[in-house]
Structure 1
Protein backbone atom coordinates (compact mmCIF):
# COMPACT_ATOMS: atom_id res chain seq x y z
CA UNK A 1 0.00 0.00 0.00
CA UNK A 2 2.83 2.34 0.78
CA UNK A 3 4.23 1.95 -2.75
CA UNK A 4 0.76 2.59 -4.17
CA UNK A 5 0.52 5.80 -2.18
CA UNK A 6 4.06 7.05 -2.78
CA UNK A 7 4.40 6.10 -6.45
CA UNK A 8 1.34 6.97 -8.53
CA UNK A 9 0.17 9.79 -6.24
CA UNK A 10 3.46 11.69 -6.61
CA UNK A 11 2.06 13.23 -9.81
CA UNK A 12 -0.89 14.68 -7.89
CA UNK A 13 0.34 15.44 -4.36
CA UNK A 14 3.18 17.25 -2.63
CA UNK A 15 5.61 15.25 -0.46
CA UNK A 16 3.79 16.54 2.66
CA UNK A 17 0.44 15.39 1.24
CA UNK A 18 1.89 11.96 0.42
CA UNK A 19 3.13 11.61 4.01
CA UNK A 20 -0.29 12.71 5.28
CA UNK A 21 -1.92 10.14 2.98
CA UNK A 22 0.22 7.41 4.54
CA UNK A 23 -1.12 8.44 7.94
CA UNK A 24 -4.74 8.54 6.72
CA UNK A 25 -4.92 5.48 4.49
CA UNK A 26 -4.15 1.84 5.03
CA UNK A 27 -5.63 -1.57 5.55
CA UNK A 28 -8.93 -1.88 7.36
CA UNK A 29 -8.92 -5.28 9.07
CA UNK A 30 -12.73 -5.09 9.28
CA UNK A 31 -12.84 -5.72 5.51
CA UNK A 32 -10.82 -8.90 6.01
CA UNK A 33 -12.99 -10.01 8.94
CA UNK A 34 -16.11 -9.34 6.86
CA UNK A 35 -14.59 -11.30 3.93
CA UNK A 36 -15.14 -8.36 1.57
CA UNK A 37 -11.48 -7.76 0.66
CA UNK A 38 -9.93 -9.02 -2.58
CA UNK A 39 -6.37 -9.39 -3.82
CA UNK A 40 -5.20 -9.84 -7.39
CA UNK A 41 -1.93 -11.60 -8.11
CA UNK A 42 0.05 -11.81 -11.34
CA UNK A 43 2.48 -14.71 -11.50
CA UNK A 44 2.50 -14.95 -7.71
CA UNK A 45 3.14 -11.23 -7.20
CA UNK A 46 0.61 -9.00 -5.43
CA UNK A 47 -0.70 -6.69 -8.17
CA UNK A 48 -3.48 -4.97 -6.25
CA UNK A 49 -6.11 -5.16 -3.57
CA UNK A 50 -9.38 -3.58 -2.59
CA UNK A 51 -12.72 -4.28 -1.06
CA UNK A 52 -16.22 -3.18 -0.32
CA UNK A 53 -18.07 -2.66 2.93
CA UNK A 54 -21.55 -2.62 4.34
CA UNK A 55 -20.35 -0.42 7.19
CA UNK A 56 -20.42 3.34 7.75
CA UNK A 57 -16.65 3.97 7.55
CA UNK A 58 -15.86 5.53 4.17
CA UNK A 59 -12.07 5.31 4.03
CA UNK A 60 -8.92 4.91 6.06
CA UNK A 61 -7.08 2.16 7.86
CA UNK A 62 -7.35 0.66 11.32
CA UNK A 63 -5.45 3.63 12.74
CA UNK A 64 -7.57 6.37 11.10
CA UNK A 65 -9.70 8.38 13.56
CA UNK A 66 -13.46 8.70 13.13
CA UNK A 67 -14.19 5.15 12.01
CA UNK A 68 -17.55 3.47 12.65
CA UNK A 69 -18.24 -0.27 12.36
CA UNK A 70 -22.01 0.36 12.40
CA UNK A 71 -23.78 -1.46 9.56
CA UNK A 72 -25.38 0.11 6.52
CA UNK A 73 -28.79 -0.98 5.22
CA UNK A 74 -28.91 -2.60 1.76
CA UNK A 75 -31.45 -0.92 -0.49
CA UNK A 76 -31.32 2.24 1.63
CA UNK A 77 -27.63 3.09 2.01
CA UNK A 78 -24.83 2.90 -0.53
CA UNK A 79 -22.21 0.21 0.02
CA UNK A 80 -18.65 1.53 0.31
CA UNK A 81 -15.81 0.71 -2.06
CA UNK A 82 -12.72 0.68 0.15
CA UNK A 83 -8.94 0.30 0.28
CA UNK A 84 -8.23 0.15 -3.46
CA UNK A 85 -4.48 -0.09 -4.12
CA UNK A 86 -2.53 -1.13 -7.21
CA UNK A 87 1.21 -1.83 -7.19
CA UNK A 88 2.96 0.81 -9.31
CA UNK A 89 4.26 -1.73 -11.83
CA UNK A 90 0.67 -2.90 -12.50
CA UNK A 91 -1.02 0.50 -12.88
CA UNK A 92 -3.17 0.82 -16.03
CA UNK A 93 -3.15 -2.93 -16.68
CA UNK A 94 -6.73 -3.65 -15.60
CA UNK A 95 -6.00 -4.62 -12.00
CA UNK A 96 -8.05 -1.81 -10.47
CA UNK A 97 -10.89 -2.47 -12.91
CA UNK A 98 -10.90 -6.16 -12.00
CA UNK A 99 -11.04 -5.43 -8.27
CA UNK A 100 -13.70 -2.77 -8.74
CA UNK A 101 -15.81 -5.23 -10.75
CA UNK A 102 -15.52 -7.86 -8.01
CA UNK A 103 -16.53 -5.31 -5.37
CA UNK A 104 -19.56 -4.11 -7.34
CA UNK A 105 -20.65 -7.67 -8.05
CA UNK A 106 -20.40 -8.65 -4.37
CA UNK A 107 -22.16 -5.49 -3.13
CA UNK A 108 -25.00 -6.07 -5.61
CA UNK A 109 -25.30 -9.71 -4.50
CA UNK A 110 -25.58 -8.45 -0.89
CA UNK A 111 -28.59 -6.31 -1.86
CA UNK A 112 -27.01 -2.90 -2.44
CA UNK A 113 -28.18 -0.88 -5.43
CA UNK A 114 -25.65 1.93 -5.02
CA UNK A 115 -21.98 2.24 -4.13
CA UNK A 116 -19.94 5.20 -2.97
CA UNK A 117 -16.24 5.72 -2.43
CA UNK A 118 -13.70 8.34 -1.54
CA UNK A 119 -11.09 8.61 -4.29
CA UNK A 120 -7.63 10.07 -4.39
CA UNK A 121 -6.89 12.33 -7.33
CA UNK A 122 -4.84 9.49 -8.81
CA UNK A 123 -7.75 7.05 -8.57
CA UNK A 124 -10.44 9.40 -9.84
CA UNK A 125 -9.93 8.61 -13.57
CA UNK A 126 -10.47 4.88 -12.94
CA UNK A 127 -13.79 5.49 -11.24
CA UNK A 128 -14.96 8.00 -13.85
CA UNK A 129 -14.19 5.41 -16.55
CA UNK A 130 -16.46 2.95 -14.72
CA UNK A 131 -19.46 5.26 -14.47
CA UNK A 132 -18.88 6.89 -11.09
CA UNK A 133 -19.87 10.52 -10.72
CA UNK A 134 -18.49 13.17 -8.43
CA UNK A 135 -20.57 13.88 -5.33
CA UNK A 136 -18.19 16.34 -3.68
CA UNK A 137 -14.56 17.39 -3.42
CA UNK A 138 -13.07 17.91 0.01
CA UNK A 139 -9.78 17.89 1.88
CA UNK A 140 -8.77 15.78 4.87
CA UNK A 141 -6.14 17.36 7.10
CA UNK A 142 -6.07 14.72 9.85
CA UNK A 143 -2.71 13.42 8.55
CA UNK A 144 -0.94 16.75 9.03
CA UNK A 145 -1.45 18.25 5.55
CA UNK A 146 -4.54 18.90 3.46
CA UNK A 147 -5.09 15.90 1.17
CA UNK A 148 -7.56 16.49 -1.69
CA UNK A 149 -10.18 13.73 -2.04
CA UNK A 150 -13.29 13.13 -4.13
CA UNK A 151 -16.47 11.46 -2.89
CA UNK A 152 -17.99 9.56 -5.82
CA UNK A 153 -21.00 7.34 -6.38
CA UNK A 154 -22.63 4.98 -8.82
CA UNK A 155 -25.97 3.23 -9.15
CA UNK A 156 -25.48 -0.49 -9.72
CA UNK A 157 -27.21 -2.21 -12.61
CA UNK A 158 -30.57 -3.77 -11.80
CA UNK A 159 -30.94 -7.47 -12.44
CA UNK A 160 -28.51 -10.30 -12.21
CA UNK A 161 -24.91 -9.31 -11.49
CA UNK A 162 -22.35 -10.20 -14.15
CA UNK A 163 -18.82 -11.38 -13.71
CA UNK A 164 -16.31 -8.53 -14.08
CA UNK A 165 -14.61 -8.35 -17.48
Structure 2
Protein backbone atom coordinates (compact mmCIF):
# COMPACT_ATOMS: atom_id res chain seq x y z
CA UNK A 1 0.00 0.00 0.00
CA UNK A 2 1.29 3.44 -0.89
CA UNK A 3 0.98 6.58 1.20
CA UNK A 4 0.13 10.01 -0.20
CA UNK A 5 1.51 13.27 1.19
CA UNK A 6 -0.90 16.19 1.52
CA UNK A 7 -1.46 19.27 3.62
CA UNK A 8 -3.37 18.52 6.81
CA UNK A 9 -6.89 19.86 7.42
CA UNK A 10 -8.60 20.43 10.76
CA UNK A 11 -10.59 17.19 10.34
CA UNK A 12 -7.24 15.32 10.57
CA UNK A 13 -6.79 16.50 14.17
CA UNK A 14 -8.12 13.40 15.96
CA UNK A 15 -6.14 11.02 13.72
CA UNK A 16 -2.96 13.08 14.17
CA UNK A 17 -3.40 13.12 17.95
CA UNK A 18 -3.99 9.35 18.03
CA UNK A 19 -0.94 8.71 15.84
CA UNK A 20 1.27 11.01 17.93
CA UNK A 21 0.19 9.45 21.21
CA UNK A 22 0.70 5.88 19.93
CA UNK A 23 4.11 6.83 18.55
CA UNK A 24 5.24 8.32 21.87
CA UNK A 25 3.95 5.37 23.89
CA UNK A 26 5.75 2.92 21.62
CA UNK A 27 9.06 4.70 20.97
CA UNK A 28 9.76 6.74 24.10
CA UNK A 29 10.27 3.86 26.58
CA UNK A 30 13.60 3.09 24.86
CA UNK A 31 14.80 6.61 25.79
CA UNK A 32 12.73 7.80 28.76
CA UNK A 33 11.35 6.31 31.97
CA UNK A 34 7.65 5.50 32.46
CA UNK A 35 6.73 8.85 34.06
CA UNK A 36 8.50 10.81 31.32
CA UNK A 37 6.79 8.73 28.62
CA UNK A 38 3.33 9.27 30.12
CA UNK A 39 3.96 13.01 30.46
CA UNK A 40 5.20 13.26 26.87
CA UNK A 41 2.17 11.34 25.60
CA UNK A 42 -0.04 13.87 27.36
CA UNK A 43 1.75 17.11 26.56
CA UNK A 44 3.70 16.91 23.31
CA UNK A 45 1.07 15.08 21.27
CA UNK A 46 -1.56 17.83 21.28
CA UNK A 47 -1.90 19.19 17.75
CA UNK A 48 -1.12 22.89 17.42
CA UNK A 49 -3.91 23.82 14.98
CA UNK A 50 -2.04 27.01 14.04
CA UNK A 51 0.18 24.74 11.92
CA UNK A 52 -2.87 23.59 9.96
CA UNK A 53 -4.31 27.11 9.78
CA UNK A 54 -0.98 28.35 8.41
CA UNK A 55 -0.87 25.59 5.77
CA UNK A 56 2.46 24.25 7.07
CA UNK A 57 1.48 20.83 8.43
CA UNK A 58 1.51 17.65 6.38
CA UNK A 59 0.08 14.17 6.72
CA UNK A 60 0.83 10.96 4.90
CA UNK A 61 -2.35 9.01 4.36
CA UNK A 62 -2.63 5.34 3.38
CA UNK A 63 -5.89 3.46 3.08
CA UNK A 64 -7.77 6.37 4.64
CA UNK A 65 -5.51 6.42 7.73
CA UNK A 66 -2.90 8.96 8.77
CA UNK A 67 0.41 7.08 9.02
CA UNK A 68 2.84 10.00 9.39
CA UNK A 69 2.67 13.71 10.11
CA UNK A 70 4.87 16.70 10.64
CA UNK A 71 5.37 20.25 9.61
CA UNK A 72 7.12 23.54 9.95
CA UNK A 73 6.24 26.93 11.32
CA UNK A 74 6.96 30.52 10.49
CA UNK A 75 5.93 31.41 14.07
CA UNK A 76 7.96 31.73 17.28
CA UNK A 77 7.17 28.41 18.95
CA UNK A 78 9.73 25.61 19.05
CA UNK A 79 7.73 22.61 20.31
CA UNK A 80 4.21 21.76 21.46
CA UNK A 81 4.60 21.85 25.23
CA UNK A 82 6.68 25.03 25.15
CA UNK A 83 5.35 28.27 26.52
CA UNK A 84 8.46 30.17 27.65
CA UNK A 85 9.25 32.76 25.00
CA UNK A 86 6.71 31.28 22.58
CA UNK A 87 4.28 33.57 20.81
CA UNK A 88 2.39 33.93 17.54
CA UNK A 89 4.91 36.42 16.19
CA UNK A 90 5.93 35.73 12.61
CA UNK A 91 9.62 34.94 12.34
CA UNK A 92 11.89 37.08 10.15
CA UNK A 93 13.14 34.75 7.37
CA UNK A 94 16.25 36.90 6.89
CA UNK A 95 17.45 36.51 10.48
CA UNK A 96 15.53 33.65 12.16
CA UNK A 97 15.16 29.95 11.34
CA UNK A 98 11.85 28.34 10.44
CA UNK A 99 10.79 25.74 13.01
CA UNK A 100 10.30 22.04 12.30
CA UNK A 101 7.40 20.84 14.44
CA UNK A 102 5.46 17.78 15.59
CA UNK A 103 6.95 14.94 13.53
CA UNK A 104 5.45 11.49 14.14
CA UNK A 105 5.41 8.25 12.13
CA UNK A 106 3.26 5.24 12.92
CA UNK A 107 5.48 2.37 14.07
CA UNK A 108 4.48 0.05 11.21
CA UNK A 109 5.39 2.77 8.68
CA UNK A 110 8.85 3.69 10.01
CA UNK A 111 11.99 3.30 7.89
CA UNK A 112 10.10 3.94 4.63
CA UNK A 113 11.26 7.50 4.02
CA UNK A 114 8.09 9.23 5.15
CA UNK A 115 9.83 11.37 7.78
CA UNK A 116 12.50 12.38 5.26
CA UNK A 117 9.83 13.24 2.67
CA UNK A 118 7.96 15.43 5.18
CA UNK A 119 11.23 17.17 6.10
CA UNK A 120 11.94 17.75 2.39
CA UNK A 121 8.46 19.26 1.88
CA UNK A 122 9.00 21.50 4.92
CA UNK A 123 12.43 22.58 3.70
CA UNK A 124 11.13 23.41 0.22
CA UNK A 125 8.18 25.40 1.59
CA UNK A 126 10.33 27.34 4.07
CA UNK A 127 12.88 28.08 1.31
CA UNK A 128 10.05 29.41 -0.88
CA UNK A 129 9.21 31.90 1.89
CA UNK A 130 12.79 33.13 2.11
CA UNK A 131 14.06 31.16 5.13
CA UNK A 132 17.70 30.08 5.01
CA UNK A 133 17.84 27.93 8.15
CA UNK A 134 15.69 25.39 10.01
CA UNK A 135 15.65 24.81 13.76
CA UNK A 136 13.93 22.25 15.95
CA UNK A 137 13.79 20.86 19.43
CA UNK A 138 14.07 17.09 19.22
CA UNK A 139 13.12 14.51 21.76
CA UNK A 140 15.69 11.71 21.92
CA UNK A 141 13.90 9.27 19.56
CA UNK A 142 13.93 11.85 16.75
CA UNK A 143 17.64 12.68 16.84
CA UNK A 144 18.75 9.93 14.38
CA UNK A 145 16.24 11.05 11.70
CA UNK A 146 17.23 14.69 12.03
CA UNK A 147 20.97 13.91 11.94
CA UNK A 148 20.44 11.80 8.82
CA UNK A 149 18.69 14.80 7.24
CA UNK A 150 21.64 17.09 7.94
CA UNK A 151 20.66 18.69 11.23
CA UNK A 152 23.46 19.23 13.73
CA UNK A 153 23.19 19.36 17.49
CA UNK A 154 23.36 22.88 18.89
CA UNK A 155 22.98 21.93 22.54
CA UNK A 156 21.35 19.50 24.93
CA UNK A 157 18.17 20.82 26.47
CA UNK A 158 15.78 20.16 29.31
CA UNK A 159 12.16 20.26 28.13
CA UNK A 160 9.78 21.16 30.97
CA UNK A 161 6.30 19.70 30.60
CA UNK A 162 3.28 21.49 32.10
CA UNK A 163 3.02 18.81 34.82
CA UNK A 164 6.59 19.47 36.04
CA UNK A 165 8.18 16.48 34.33
CA UNK A 166 11.38 17.33 32.45
CA UNK A 167 12.43 15.50 29.29
CA UNK A 168 15.92 15.42 27.83
CA UNK A 169 15.98 17.00 24.39
CA UNK A 170 18.36 18.30 21.77
CA UNK A 171 18.23 21.67 20.02
CA UNK A 172 19.22 21.19 16.38
CA UNK A 173 19.71 23.38 13.30
CA UNK A 174 20.28 22.94 9.59
CA UNK A 175 20.93 25.35 6.73
CA UNK A 176 18.16 25.05 4.16
CA UNK A 177 20.50 24.85 1.18
CA UNK A 178 22.63 22.05 2.64
CA UNK A 179 23.79 19.56 0.02
CA UNK A 180 22.06 16.26 0.69
CA UNK A 181 24.26 13.21 0.47
CA UNK A 182 21.88 10.46 1.58
Query: Normalization by structure 1: what TM-score?
Result: 0.89
Structure with larger RCO (C-alpha < 8 A, sep 6+): 1
**Partners in 1 of 2:93 and 2:59 — Cα distance?**
24
Deviation at 1:76, TM superposition (A): 1.0
Q: Where in structure 2 are the equivalents of 1:30-45 lying within 5 Å?
A: 30-45=50-65
Deviation at 1:88, TM superposition (A): 1.4
Q: Unaligned 5+ residue runs, structure 1? A: 159-164
Count residues in correspondence.
157
**Partners in 1 of 2:153 and 2:95 — Cα distance?**
20
The runs of at least 4 aligned residues of structure 1 exceeding 4 Å deviation read none
Partner of 2:42: 23
Q: Unaligned 5+ residue runs, structure 2? A: 1-19
**Partners in 2 of 1:5 and 1:68 — Cα distance?**
25
Residue 9 in 1 paired to residue 37 in 2? no
Q: 1:86 aligns with which of 101, 105, 114?
A: 105
Query: Normalization by structure 2: what TM-score?
Result: 0.81
**Partners in 1 of 2:99 and 2:47 — Cα distance?**
14
Residue 132 in 1 paired to residue 151 in 2? yes
Deviation at 1:43, TM superposition (A): 3.0
Deviation at 1:84, TM superposition (A): 0.6
